[in-house]
A and B are shown apart, each in its own frame.
Chain A
Amino acid sequence: MSEPRSAPTVGQVVLGRRLQDLRERAGLKREEAAKLLRVAPATIRRMETAEVTLKIPYVQVLLRAYGIAEAEAEAFVELTEEANKPGWWQRFHDILPDWFSMYVSLEGAAALLRAYEPHFVPGLLQTEDYARSVMRAGAVGQARPDDIERHVALRMERQSLLTRPDAPRFWVIMDETVLRRPVGDSPEIMREQIDRLLETSALPNVTLQIAEFSSGHHPGTYGPFVIFRFAVPELPDMVYSEYLTGAVYLDARPEVATHLEVMDRMAAQAATAPRTKEILRDVRKEL
């Protein structure tokens, strides 16, 4: 049986996939692997898809059966122990739904993030006041002021990602709507937010593009999504796609390819990064 647990970390997802590779290379079926552990075949599947936490004794038995050399098996076990440790964001578990905990984990592990944002400045680029205003406006049902402050704190902590030593590349396409629909109850909030955008787009790892109204309709109008790419080549790109009460994560090749193409087409159609800076400066003046 699987035990209840929080969302898997990227490390766990990687190791699960790797475990599947090793089993397939050893020519074993899930049923055969399951017999070794005296568990149901579904448990092997859950281990491989990171739906359950990998237990070290299980991993050791499997690696031996898959004919993995001592040293490599030891390294695998070490990585498993590392991946099973909770991430820093667990401190926010009270406000963090599982589907978003996974997001924060992916964000921290990705080497490249490509985001399409039709409505808001992405969380990683928001000022504190902007974040607070967005959350107040968007909070329905669970709008406890304390929670909102916790969400703002979490968001601000996530932002250190962009300036850490091994910072990922962050490539964002924002719809012009984001600049035109004012957020917050004073124009100062938008002005500061645009200043922040100008500041962050100067970072060598950040690219910002605005999809202008004048560039016409584009294929991304269904809603926001993010494509994560990892430094581990075996790990496929992963797509995060949001809806009102949750999100889906996709890593099947055809789905990822479609999102990649839509993102690419939008990138080709949207204003270039240098032009985007001009647009931001112009909008800033009008505020």
Chain B
Amino acid sequence: MTGHDAIDTSRPHPARVYDWLLGGKDNYPVDEQMARQLLALDSRAPEMARVNRAFMHRATRWLGMTGGVRQYLDIGTGIPTEPNLHQIAQQVAPDSRIVYTDNDPIVLRHAEALLRSTPEGVTEYVQADAREPGAIIEAAGKTLDLDRPVALSLIALLHFVSDDDGAHELVRALLAPLAPGSYLVLSHVTGDFDPDTSERARELYKQRGLTLVPRTRDEFAAFFEGLDLVGPGVSLATDWRPELGEVVPLSGDGPIPGYAGVARKP
């Protein structure tokens, strides 16, 4: 993919919609409009975004502290929001090496301009589509030592990839070249608790030519097949090791409809 051919600012972009929900300013009116529609559908949309973000923080802290991970491959990085993955990883271990990947050149340039490594560590930026795992691994291998464990994170990403588009094959292809002891970190939207709203959200995305695939708990758990889930296993994002970090204050009743999990490659 070469640069600007890939830019489409006429449609909302999930990363920029997410940025708006998090109170960021790196979004355009088309993204704000979409975000406001999601908000009208479910007033807890900004909380969902914050909960997902908080899970990423806690998972990264766990990986650095308990998992002893020093290498990260983050796919679908999104627009920088403090603290970012490398900041948390490098808080734990300043020499941590992070490869950030996104398919959107605008999003990636933001990451490159604003996500700066500690002097001891490395942050590198790779523009690649998640559906081209070979290209991602090849580029990541220039910065990461693939003979040593890597934490592969696909945070709030797989619900934009359908089964037909090869969501499962993608995860397998990305994991296969990684050393034993590597980790897979996932978070994902679900319709398990409010199928009606979830269906309307899917429709909202579809009208804009975007794919949204909320998955059930079992469908989500299938991504971890053959791996060893670390405690507490597949859980609501809010329930994943809350002791490790900030608690997002929630409004309303019922769970925030997102699953999360971290698993180790044997």
Give A residues with C-beta under 8 Å from B: 169, 171, 204-205, 207, 209, 215, 229, 233, 236-237, 253-254, 257, 260-261, 264-265, 267-269, 272-273
Fill in one digit per residue for B82-125: 1 if any A CB lies within 8 Å of its CB, else 0.
00000000000000000000000110111011101000000001
Q: Is the CB of B106 within 8 A of A268?
A: yes
The 4 closest A-B pairs by CB, nearest first: A268-B105, A207-B113, A267-B109, A264-B106
Q: B interface, how many residues as a size bin?
A: 10 to 19
Asked, given contacts A171-B113, A207-B112, whether A265 binds B28 with beta carbons under 8 Å apart, the answer is no
Q: Is the CB of B112 within 8 A of A204?
A: no
Q: Is the CB of A265 within 8 A of B3?
A: no
Q: Whole-angstrom distance between the alpha carbons of A236 and B28 in the complex?
A: 13
User: Which residues of the other chain, B, contact A207 by a CB distance below 8 angstroms?
Assistant: 112-114
Interface residues in B1-15 (C-beta closer than 8 Å to A) = 3-4, 7, 9
User: Which residues of the other chain, A, contact B142 by a CB distance below 8 angstroms?
Assistant: none
Q: Whole-angstrom distance between the alpha carbons of A272 and B110 in the complex?
A: 11
Asked, given contacts A257-B29, A261-B28, whether A273 binds B114 with beta carbons under 8 Å apart, the answer is no
Q: Is the CB of A260 within 8 A of B114?
A: no
**Secondary structure class of chain B's binding surface, majority of residues:** helix
Asked, given contacts A268-B4, A268-B7, whether A229 binds B113 with beta carbons under 8 Å apart, the answer is no
Q: Whole-angstrom distance between the alpha carbons of A233 and B112 in the complex?
A: 23
CB distance from B13 to the nearest CB of A (A): 11
Q: Whole-angstrom distance between the alpha carbons of A229 and B18 in the complex?
A: 19
CB distance from B11 to the nearest CB of A (A): 13
Select which of A171, A257, A272 is within 8 A of B28 by beta carbon.
A257
Q: Whole-angstrom distance between the alpha carbons of A209 and B106 in the complex?
A: 13
Select which of A260, A265, A273 is within 8 A of B112 by beta carbon.
A273
Q: Whole-angstrom distance between the alpha carbons of A109 and B225 in the complex?
A: 51
Q: Is the CB of B113 within 8 A of A268?
A: no
CB distance from A125 to the nearest CB of B (A): 15
CB distance from B251 to the nearest CB of A (A): 20
Q: Whole-angstrom distance between the alpha carbons of A236 and B81 in the complex?
A: 17
Q: Whole-angstrom distance between the alpha carbons of A60 and B23 in the complex?
A: 31
Q: Whole-angstrom distance between the alpha carbons of A233 and B114 in the complex?
A: 18
Q: Whole-angstrom distance between the alpha carbons of A87 and B101 in the complex?
A: 42
User: Which residues of the other chain, A, contact B110 by a CB distance below 8 angstroms?
Assistant: 264, 267
Q: Which residue of A lies closest to B118 (CB)?
A: A204
Q: Is the CB of B114 within 8 A of A265?
A: no
Q: Which residue of B lies closest to A270 (CB)?
A: B109
* B129 interface residue (CB < 8 Å to A): no
Q: Is the CB of A254 within 8 A of B29?
A: yes
Asked, given contacts A171-B113, A204-B116, whether A260 binds B26 with beta carbons under 8 Å apart, the answer is yes
Q: Is the CB of B25 within 8 A of A229?
A: yes
Q: Whole-angstrom distance between the alpha carbons of A257 and B3 in the complex?
A: 21
Q: Is the CB of B28 within 8 A of A267?
A: no
Q: Whole-angstrom distance between the alpha carbons of A237 and B28 in the complex?
A: 12
User: Which residues of the other chain, B, contact A233 by a CB distance below 8 angstroms?
Assistant: 23
